[in-house]
Every structure is written in C-alpha cells, then in structure tokens.
C-alpha cells in the first residue's frame, strides 16, 4: 500500500505524521519527496548514504558545426537557448531536458550530456528503510528526482511518501499513483485556506483522502465544520503539546519520546486501511 | 529613486514568514506588498484586499491531440520524456510539460500546442497600501514564471506610485518559485526556527542566497522552543557573517491575531508586537 502525506501550507506537520506513522505500523518504508527541503531523515539516527545521482539530459553544442540558424532557440519553450549576434548562449538552469533542440537542429550540431540536478540517499534500518532526494542548490526543478524516488517503493511494504508543500507540480507528482492521501492541516485560517486548495487538487487527481488536524486546540473549529460539510473523513487530531514541539526540535519522533501517542497513529492507519 | 526589494524566506514552511511579513507590511511606509507564495498564498487573509485589477496568467502551452488525424505511429510516445503519452499514444495532458516535442515529431499534424490559463494575478488595495498577489491553478507548472509576473507588476506599481520598497513574502523550498522570488532583490531576511528541520532548510536557503550573491540577514522565531539550537544558529550565522536582527519568543498571540484575521502589530501592543517593531527598525536600517 502507498500512502502520501501532503499539505498546501508548509510547516503543518507533514514530516511529523509521515515519520510517526511509519514508526507505528509494521513493515513500512519512508520516502521523503520534499527534495527542496527533506527533513524526515533528521528523525533517524542512521546516516543517509548516497545511492544515486539524478541527471537530466542537456544539450551540448558543437560550435564548429553550428550555423547559428537559430532554429533551436526559436523552438525551445523554456527560453534556455538564445543567439545574440554571432554567439549562441545556453542557460542550463532553464533547460528541462526535453531534447527538442537536438531533433530540430538541421546540421546535427547538438548532442546530449548528463546534467546533474541532485541525488538520492538511503538511510534508516532494514526494518524501516528511509529514502530521500536532494535538489542541488540553485537548481529549479525537483520533479525528475521525485519521479526516480517513487521507483524505490517496495510493493511488499507499506510505503509512506512525505510530500513537498504546496499545490504545484512537485506536490501533485507525489499525490498521484498512490492508494491514499493524508492531508495535514492546522486549525487556523491559513491552515483552512490551504487545505481547501489541496482538496481541490486531490479531487482532480482522484486519490482517496482524509484529513489530520495537527496542533488541535490552538485555533477554532472551522476546519471541522469544513470537513463535515464536504464529507471529508477526519482521520485524527493531534493535540497541541509543547512536549511534542520540544521533541520535534531535537529530532525525536513523538511516538519514541512519548509512547502514549503510538495508539493515535495505529488507529489512524486502521481507519485508512478500512477506506482503501 | 531606486525601488528596493526585500524578500522574507525560510526554506521550511510554517516558520512564521507570513506572520512576520504581514506585520512588516503594517509597519513599513511607502511600500508595495507582494505575495510570492503563489500556490498557497495566505497574505490576503490578513490584509483583506480589494481587487483593483486582475489578469489571466498563461503558463506554458499544453499538447492537444486530434485522434481523427492520429495514425498511431508512436513517435509522440517515443520522444516525450515526461510520460505524457502511453504506449498506445493516449495523451495525459496533466503530465505535459509544454516542451512541444510531440508537435514537432508528429508526421500528420495531429498534435497542436495550445494556450492554457494557468492562474491569475491581482493588483489590490489594502489598508497598508497596494498588494500584488496571484493564484496558481491546481497542479500547474511554471509557478516560477507567475512569481516573476507578481514581482514585475509590483515594480510597475512601485514606480508609478512613487513607492520606495517592495516587501515580498516568499514561498517555502529552494526551487523555481523561491529562486524567482529572490533573484536580484536587495536583501533577503531568513526566518530560522530552532528545530533541526528549520535549521536544515534555512541553511539550504542561505546557500541559494550565496549562490545568487544576495545579501542575507536572519531572525530566529520561537527561539525559546530550543535554546541550545538557538545558540547553534547564532554561531552558524556568526561564522557566515550573517547579521541576526532579532529573536522572537514562542507566543500564542501570533495565532490569536491570525484567528481574528489581523496582523500581530494591529492585534496587540504586547511584548510580541514590541519585538517585531524593534526587528522591523533594524531590517529597515539594513536595507
């Protein structure tokens, strides 16, 4: 079974839910898809070890053959190539690696080379493997790394994906092709607003989902009212507990530091299991 | 006069960027506010904008296939690198990245790239001055381009109305939206949270700022959650030559203000508001 933990707003507790759920169910694995800021590994003692580089194809221009005809620059939808005077300029950070320039070049002046955009690391234990990806600093597009990360899901295990925040392409990529999606929110106006955006997205994708309210007690009950009105199952409420926040700050999972919370995650998983 | 730009950023979400940025919006004079978190914008909840002008944002074009013309040659499937075509040549538009390679290789012109509406951008009035904000449609690409549009409109408003400063509330992460919200600004303010996650992600965003040679200052929010981590942040910033302009204690008042849909400095005159005011004075001097 594959479960994604997502939320529109950042900092609502995606990683907290993903890590503690993984620790509370048997035979699980954790894949952190927030490649711009992966945090799940901070809750495990084992070091993360690089297992793979992630590259996208990028064009290499043979300037002796190039006639400066400008067809590649005209074709590129991302404005990664431009011809200024007698010079061809290539902006690697804008390239999506589609290969169109190579196809359109009339004199075969373009070949492709690997452009490294990030890497994948593995940690955790044999019982609970943890994977994450890291987008290189100054690289804009994390989706190729997310796609590679998703390949590590083991069909014989309960795979939990920790999603990046937001509702744009990296988050959508993580919410797609899974059995269930947990949407984490907090009972505040920001939390509610961003939850409604995420619900719009997940309904378009069609993945079954439910809501977890984190830091219950800090705000009001507008999230509950919204879920009831929309017929969205409420999977769990995690109380606003300063002890949990302090454990989190040190990288200690709440089910390890405060075992009383284990039951909450076991019940959450039970509810999900009944819905899938 | 040159318009200055300040971006508030944190790497990790939920560190208090918008809470701080909205209070700065209330304290600053002669400024335009820009919400660059286009896929989960929250600033408008506190600022209750009246929309002055809205415009459609076109992202990248999207492939459209005419099955009557298609001869099932498989060229689109073979050449698409984003998995937008199945082996039987069925198109999945939601996976299309707009590269137009399929249109290029189709021998019978069965595929056309068409314009799509990917979001909306707004110029609005608020009680603290003009706000430029946007809404990216669910699951869209090109969010970096929409952030660039928000910043461009904010600059136009600033120049036209003689404003001196653009205050940008940044998105989380380090990718395209963040890069678009940071490049070329005069200063970034990095909001640290003294948790291992907050530190990990803030350090990454400082690396991004260094890469693009943007001056950075920092503040620590909820510093008393873990004073040991706070000390580590102070040491790290010292080593990096980054000025720490303040420390904000954990305070429920921030949530109370949000629940009443006000900025902290409007909601209270208490210690939290006082700390934010002092920090704003220092940020203004650093600009």
The CATH number given to whatever domain includes residue B67 is 3.30.70.20
Model confidence at B268: pLDDT above 70: yes
As a whole number of angstroms, the distance between CA B175 and CA A38 comes to 13
Residues of chain B contacting residue A9, judged by C-beta atoms under 8 Å apart:
13-14, 40, 42
As a whole number of angstroms, the distance between CA B64 and CA B80 comes to 14
- Provide the domain limits for residue B102: 62-115
Distance to chain B for A189, nearest Cα, Å: 6
Residue B70: count other Cβ atoms within 10 Å of its Cβ: 15
Are residues B49 and B140 located together in one domain of the fold? yes
Are residues B252 and B173 located together in one domain of the fold? yes
Question: Among residues B115, B142, B159, which one ends one of the domains?
Answer: B115
Comparing CB atoms, the residue among A9, A172, A197 nearest residue B14 is A9
Residue A254 in tokens: 């709440």
Are residues B145 and B216 located together in one domain of the fold? yes
pLDDT for B141: 74
Q: Per-residue pLDDT tens for A21-63?
A: 999 999 999 999 999 999 999 999 999 999 999 999 999 999 9
Contact A36 B197 (CB under 8 A): no
How sure is the predictor about A209, in pLDDT bands with cuts at 50, 70 and 90? very high
| Interface mutation vs chain A, best among B103, B174, B203, B212, most A CBs within 10 Å | B174
pLDDT for B140: 81
pLDDT for A180: 98
Are residues B174 and B128 located together in one domain of the fold? yes
Domains of chain A: 2-44+125-275 (3.40.50.300), 56-116 (3.30.70.20)
If one counts the domains in chain B, the total is 2
The CATH number given to whatever domain includes residue B248 is 3.40.50.300
Angle at A265 between CA A264 and CA A269, to 5 degrees: 120
Are residues B94 and B142 located together in one domain of the fold? no
Model confidence at A187: pLDDT above 90: yes
Could you report the predicted ipTM of this complex, rounded to two decimals?
0.92
As a whole number of angstroms, the distance between CA B118 and CA B104 comes to 23
Are residues B259 and B217 located together in one domain of the fold? yes
Please report the number of interchain residue pairs, chain A to chain B, with beta-carbon separation below 8 angstroms.
Answer: 176
Contact B15 A138 (CB under 8 A): no
Are residues B87 and B193 located together in one domain of the fold? no
| Interface mutation vs chain A, best among B10, B12, B19, B40, most A CBs within 10 Å | B40
B81 touches chain A (CB under 8 A): yes
pLDDT for B142: 67
Comparing CB atoms, the residue among A98, A249, A250 nearest residue B99 is A98
Residue A43 in tokens: 């809750």
Query: How many Cα neighbours within 13 Å face the side chain of A218?
Result: 26
Are residues B42 and B12 located together in one domain of the fold? yes
**CB–CB of B182/B173 below 8 Å?**
no
Are residues B138 and B87 located together in one domain of the fold? no
Residues of chain B contacting residue A197, judged by C-beta atoms under 8 Å apart:
39-40, 138
pLDDT for B94: 84
Are residues B80 and B43 located together in one domain of the fold? no
Residue A127 in tokens: 């019982």
Are residues B238 and B104 located together in one domain of the fold? no
Query: How many Cα neighbours within 13 Å face the side chain of B263?
Result: 24
């Amino acid at each position: 079974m594959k479960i994604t933990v997502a939320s529109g707003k950042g900092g609502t507790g995606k990683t907290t839910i993903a890590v503690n759920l993984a620790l509370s169910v048997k035979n699980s694995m954790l894949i952190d898809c927030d490649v711009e800021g992966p945090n799940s590994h901070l809750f495990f003692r084992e070091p993360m070890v690089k297992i793979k580089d992630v590259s996208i194809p990028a064009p290499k221009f043979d300037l002796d053959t190039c006639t400066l005809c400008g067809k590649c620059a005209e074709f590129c939808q991302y404005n990664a190539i431009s011809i200024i005077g007698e010079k061809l300029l290539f902006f690697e950070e804008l390239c999506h690696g589609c290969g169109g320039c190579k196809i359109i070049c009339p004199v075969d002046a373009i070949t492709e080379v690997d452009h490294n955009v990030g890497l994948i690391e593995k940690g955790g234990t044999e019982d609970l493997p943890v994977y994450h990806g890291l987008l290189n600093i100054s690289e804009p597009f994390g989706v190729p790394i997310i796609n590679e990360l998703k390949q590590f899901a083991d069909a014989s295990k309960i795979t939990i994906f920790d999603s990046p925040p937001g509702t744009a392409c990296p988050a959508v990529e993580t919410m797609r092709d899974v059995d269930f999606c947990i949407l984490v929110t907090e009972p505040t106006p920001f939390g509610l607003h961003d939850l409604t955006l995420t619900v719009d997205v997940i309904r378009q994708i069609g993945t079954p989902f439910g809501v977890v309210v984190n830091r219950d007690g800090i705000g009001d009950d507008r999230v509950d009212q919204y879920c009831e009105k929309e017929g969205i199952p409420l999977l769990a409420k995690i109380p606003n507990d300063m002890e949990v926040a302090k454990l989190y700050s040190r990288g200690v999972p709440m089910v390890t530091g405060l075992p009383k919370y284990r039951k909450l995650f076991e019940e959450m998983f039970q509810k999900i299991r009944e819905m899938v | 006069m040159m318009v200055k730009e300040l971006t508030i950023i944190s790497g990790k979400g939920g560190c208090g960027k918008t809470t701080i940025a909205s209070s700065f919006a209330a304290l600053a004079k002669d400024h335009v506010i820009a919400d660059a978190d286009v896929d989960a914008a929250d600033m408008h909840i506190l600022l209750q904008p009246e929309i002055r002008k809205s415009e459609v944002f076109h992202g990248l074009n999207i492939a459209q296939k005419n099955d009557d013309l298609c001869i099932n040659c498989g060229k689109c499937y073979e050449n698409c690198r984003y998995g937008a075509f199945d082996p039987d040549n069925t198109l999945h538009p939601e996976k299309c990245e707009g590269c137009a390679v399929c249109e290029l290789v189709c021998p019978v012109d069965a595929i056309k790239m068409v314009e799509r509406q990917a979001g909306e951008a707004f110029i609005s009035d608020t009680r603290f001055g003009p706000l430029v904000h946007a809404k990216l449609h669910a699951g869209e690409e090109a969010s970096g381009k929409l952030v660039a549009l928000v910043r461009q409109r904010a600059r136009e408003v600033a120049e036209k109305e003689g404003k001196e400063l653009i205050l940008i509330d940044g998105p989380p992460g380090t990718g395209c939206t963040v890069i678009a919200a940071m490049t070329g600004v005069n200063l970034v303010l990095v909001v640290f949270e003294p948790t291992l996650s907050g530190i990990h992600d803030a350090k990454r965003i400082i690396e991004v700022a260094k890469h693009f040679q943007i001056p950075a200052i920092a503040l620590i929010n909820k510093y008393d959650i873990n004073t040991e981590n706070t000390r580590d942040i102070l040491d790290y910033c010292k080593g990096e030559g980054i000025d720490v302009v303040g420390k904000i204690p954990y305070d429920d008042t921030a949530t109370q203000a949000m629940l009443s849909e006000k900025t902290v400095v409007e909601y209270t005159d208490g210690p939290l508001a006082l700390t934010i005011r002092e920090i704003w004075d220092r940020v203004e001097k650093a600009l």
